[in-house]
Amino acid sequence: MRMEVPVGELVGRAPAFLPVPAFLDGPWSRNHRVGLGLIVASSLLAIGVAACGPSMVALRLGPRDNLMPPWYLPAGWVTLSEWVAVPLLWLGLILGLVGLWVCWRAIHAGWRPHNRKLFALGAVLSIGTSLVPPMTSADVLMYAAYGRLQVLGLDPYSITPAEIFRQEFDPLLVWTERPWQDTPSVYGPIASASQWLAAWLGNGNMHNTVFWLQMWALLPFLVIGAIAVKLAHDDKVTQTRAVLFTVLNPLMIWSVLSGAHNEALTLVFAIVGLWFIRRSPFVAGIAIGLAGAVKVSLVFYGLAMIWGYRRDWRKLLQLAIGAAIPLGLAYGVWVPRALTAASRNTGYISSGSWAPPIQGALSFVIGHDASWAVTVLIGWLLMVAIGWMLSRVLPWRLVPGNPDDDEPRRDPLTITVRTATILTTAWLVSSPYTLSWYDLIAWVPLGLMTASRLDLLMMGRGFWLAAAYVTGRAVEFSPAMRVVSSVVRDWACSAFQILVLVAIVQWWWSWGHQLPRWLGRILPAKLRTPVGIEPG
């Protein structure tokens, strides 16, 4: 027996359904207490592994000469082997995924929690995660290194950490790890400024510098969640989704905060921009310009705002002027070389994405270099195609704050939120280089929309990418662990990323497979769309 679970609806269409096996449709799967308990257990497992101190998953931060976080047990008290630490983290991710799914189902079964308490729970888990050593990714060590270079008066956009520590000892740079030691910075001026400040406060100590970088991840993460809840106004369901998909999202707590990644710092300015979309296009423009000065990937939010204001040229002009001010100052006056440096962060292919199997197969036919270039090109084409498909099937629902009878297709905030979801998701699922912490840019606007099967696809995608990089550090795992990790990352994770693409295509096809008008005119009649929904 199979049950059907409603997951959302489109304007003018019947609800969409996803099949759920009967054994997953029991009362437990809609019990918020079960879901919250699993989310808490997930975070506590990760915190516990990190608190045990340096291991194959927890970073080595060098000497600690004070009581500042990140905190962990003294050396020698507990030593976790890879066969304890890695499975525990995988277990934690499984618990978090199931907990997130159960809470998601509970919302649509009528659960209406006290959202301030729910937010407080997420904040406590987020803070706890940020007070123990980062795990599984050495990116934060590179942030510290780029900051250290600036403190020393060097240019992180042209000089790499390895160039310095191979010539002379440095008490901070010596603690960096492969594989990015020979790579100059690709981050925007504001990100570089945050790295300089952390390194200055850390005063040459990696442990202390990492603490400040963890705070630069935590504080924006909490602000993002708070603004998302405020954007939901008095809509209880949307408020709960906003909390669940941001500060209480175990996949994002793990991916962003356990690794102390700068995704939250990147995104916080764009979310501030969303807050001002209905209030001041000029201020929204300044906010998105600041976001672009952290990381250029926030261009998708800028495009979404342009689309939201496209019917009002005056507001569009205000948005453009506002964005031009911080972008011009950051890239035109402050650090012009940062813009060209960011272009180096293209053309990569990451393990665990859909791309390695495709590139590997093509390499037998056209060679390694050509197959690499073709795979990257396929990624760009996929992004356009997936973006179109999502634009045909994602629900239209007015973002709270305007009268309920307002037309969502005319509201700039609703258009911006929906378009940001479409563009960021299309980029995430189609990019040959994709990592779980990148997903934060899609989870936030997704929380402001009504439920759809995209929620579930993002849960699955995030879980597999997070699991794939539990063994992501460039350290010497045992041969057996490398085999297990390869199965998880190179086979299971890549297969699921391909499945996500297939699922989106199937979703679009089953809902009418509407084509762009220009393409519909040139295709044979039997391939044209029988039904469709007008674009917003």
Lowest mean pLDDT among 277-281, 309-313, 339-343: 339-343
19-78 pLDDT, tens digit each: 677 778 788 989 999 999 999 999 999 999 999 999 999 999 999 989 999 999 998 899
Q: Which residues contact 456 (CB under 8 A, 6 or more apart)?
A: 7, 18, 101, 104
Amino acid at 422: I
User: Which of these ranges, 12-21, 316-325, 354-363, 487-496, has the smallest mean pLDDT?
Assistant: 12-21
Q: What is the pTM of this model?
A: 0.92
Length of the chain: 536
Question: Residue 271 in 3-state DSSP?
Answer: helix
- Residue 136 zone, left/alpha/beta (φ > 0; ψ -120 to 50; rest): left
Alpha-carbon distance values, 457 to 63, 282, 377, 466 (Å):
42, 35, 24, 14
Q: What span, in angstroms and rounded, lies between the C-alpha atoms of 254 and 125?
A: 10
Question: CA nearest 534: which of 355, 424, 414, 396?
Answer: 396
Q: How many helical (H) and strand (E) elements, i.e. helices and strands, does the chain have?
A: 22, 2
Could you write out the DSSP letters of every residue in 154-218?
A: --TTT--HHHHHTTS--TTGGG--TTSTT------HHHHHHHHHHHHHHTT-HHHHHHHHHHHHH
Give per-residue pLDDT as tens, 308-321.
Answer: 999 999 999 999 99
Rg value, the chain, Cα: 23
Confidence of residue 525 (pLDDT cuts 50, 70, 90): low
Residue 89 has pLDDT above 60, yes or no: yes
Asked whether residue 8 carries a pLDDT value surpassing 50, the answer given is no
Q: Is 80 in a helix, a strand, or coil?
A: coil
If phi > 0 it is left, if psi is from -120 to 50 it is alpha, else beta; for residue 153 that is left
